Chain A
Amino acid sequence: MKIAILQFGGTNCDLDVLHVLKDVVGVDAETIWYKQEDLTGFDGVVVPGGFSYGDYLRAGAIAARTPIMNSVKKLAAEGKPVLGICNGFQILTEARVLEGALTTNEYPKFRCHWTNLRVETVDTPFTSKFRKGEVIRMPIAHMEGQFYAEEKNLAELDENEQVVFRYVDENGKVTDEANPNGSLENIAGIVNTSRNILGLMPHPERASESILGSDDGLRVFESMVDYITENF
C-alpha cells in the first residue's frame, strides 16, 4: 500500500501528514510534487493543508485546476480514498469533486484553536474507527473555512448523510458559539456521494499523537488505511 501526499507551491502540512502515515500509522507514503501528474501505483491520496498559491483568486482555486487533479479524480473514480485537509478541502470544493464552497470566516480572522467535533456518520472510509455521535477534538487553523452550499445542495448533503463532522460544544450540541467560522449547519467536513472523498477543515494530522493534546485524528488515517487494506 502506498499513499500519495500532494505538494503544491505553498502547501505546508505535507510533512506532518507524511510523519503520521509513516511513523505513527506505519504505512508507506510519499510526497508528490504537483508537476508529477501520474498517480499510478498509489492507493489513496491526501491533499494536505497550507496556502497553495497564496490563496490567490480564492483559497484552493489555482491548485484545483492543475493537471494532477485529473489524476486524483481518476484515482477516486476507482473507489480509492481521497482526503482533503483544510486547504485540501478548499481545493476539492474548487475542483468540484465536493459540494459547496469555503468562504471567509464570518468573523474575518485567522482562527487557530482546538474544536470539538461530532462524528455524524461512520459509513465512510475515513470514520469506520469512530462511533456515531462521538465527540472528538481536532484543531482548526484557517481564515476561509465558512462552509456554504446552496439550499438544495445542503438538503441533499443532509439527506444522503454526507456531512461527516460538525462543530459542537463539549457536550456534542450544535451551537452558534461552537461554530468557529459561520459554516452553515456547523459543517466541518463532508464526503462526496460515493463517500470515498472527504474534505474537512480541522487538522487530523495535528491531533494524531497524545503528546499533541489529542490523538483523535489518528483514527481518520487508520480508518483510511483499513479501507485500503480491505478493498485494494
Chain B
Amino acid sequence: MQYQATVRIEQKAGMLDPEGTTAKRALGQLGYQVSSVKTAKLYEIVLEADSAEIANQKVDEMCQKLIANPIVHNYTIELKELN
C-alpha cells in the first residue's frame, strides 16, 4: 500500500521561536495585532508499507533519526492511504 505521512515539526514548549516572534512584530507593523505567532515545518512523505501501522512506525523512526531533532522538537504524524 502507498501512504502519505504529513509530519509537523514544532519547537518544544518553552523554547524561543525567533521566526514567530519576528513575524508577529512585522504583522503588528502592518496593523494586525495578534497574540502570538508560532512557526512549524511540514513534511509530506510518501512511502510504501504493508500496513498503516508499519508506515507510521517507519515515519516515526525517520523523525527520530533525521527529520526532527528530539532535543528541541515535538512532532506529529498524520497518515493517509493513497489510491
Interface segment, one of A57-65, A198-206, A213-221: A57-65
* Interface residue? A94 (CB, 8 A): yes
Q: Are B72 and A103 in contact (CB under 8 A)?
A: yes
Tell me whether A127 is interfacial, beta carbon within 8 Å. no
A156 to chain B, nearest CB (A): 14
Partner of A94, one of B11, B15, B22, B69: B69
Residues of B4-20 at the interface with A, using a CB-CB cut-off of 8 Å, are 11, 15-16, 18-19
Q: How many angstroms from the CA of A101 to the CA of B72 in the assembled complex? A: 7
Binary CB contact string for chain B from 59 to 77 against chain A (1 if under 8 A, 0 otherwise) = 0000001110101100000
Name which residue of chain B comes closest to A65, CB basis: B66
Binary contact track B1-42/A, C-beta < 8 Å → 1, others 0: 000000000010001101101100000000000000000000
State whether the Cβ of A107 lies closer than 8 Å to any Cβ in chain B. yes
> Chain B: how many interface residues by the 8 Å CB criterion?
13
A57-B66, A61-B66, A65-B66 as given contacts; A106 in contact with B71, CB under 8 Å: no
Contact call B72/A105, Cβ cutoff below 8 A = no
- Chain A residues contacting B67 (CB-CB under 8 Å) are 57
12 A–B contacts, CB within 8 A, in A order: A57-B66, A65-B66, A100-B71, A101-B71, A103-B15, A103-B16, A103-B72, A104-B16, A104-B18, A108-B18, A108-B19, A108-B22
**Which residues of A are found within 8 Å of B19, using beta-carbon distances?**
104, 108
A42 at the interface (CB under 8 A from B): no
Bound form: Cα–Cα A57–B65 in Å = 12
Partner-A contacts on B (CB < 8 A): 11, 15-16, 18-19, 21-22, 65-67, 69, 71-72
Interface residues of A (CB under 8 A from B): 57-58, 61, 65, 94, 100-101, 103-108, 146, 148-150, 182
- Not counting A100-B71, A149-B71, a sample of 12 additional A-B residue pairs whose C-beta atoms are within 8 angstroms of each other reads A58-B69, A61-B69, A94-B69, A101-B71, A103-B11, A104-B16, A105-B18, A106-B16, A108-B19, A148-B15, A148-B71, A148-B72
- In the complex formed, the residue of B with least CB distance to A146 is B16
> How distant is A71 from chain B, measured CB to nearest CB, in Å?
19
A103–B41 alpha-carbon span in the complex (Å): 14
Contacts of A108 in B (CB 8 A): 18-19, 21-22
* B18 neighbours in A (Cβ, 8 Å): 104-108
**A106 to B17 CA separation, bound complex (whole angstroms):** 8
Contact at A101–B16, with CB atoms within 8 Å? no
Rounded to whole angstroms, the CA-CA distance of A51 and B18 in the bound complex is: 20
Complex contacts, B65 vs chain A, CB 8 Å: 65
In the bound complex, residues from chain B placing their C-beta under 8 Å from that of A150 are 71
Q: How far is the CB of A23 from chain B (nearest CB, A)?
A: 37
Most chain A CB inside 10 Å of its own CB: which residue of B16, B18, B67:
B18
Which residues of B sit under 8 angstroms from A61, Cβ to Cβ? 66, 69
Inter-chain CA distance A58–B16, complex, in Å, is 16
- Which of A57, A61, A100, A106 lies at the interface centre, i.e. has the most chain B CB atoms within 10 A of its CB? A57
A150 to B71, CA, bound (A): 7
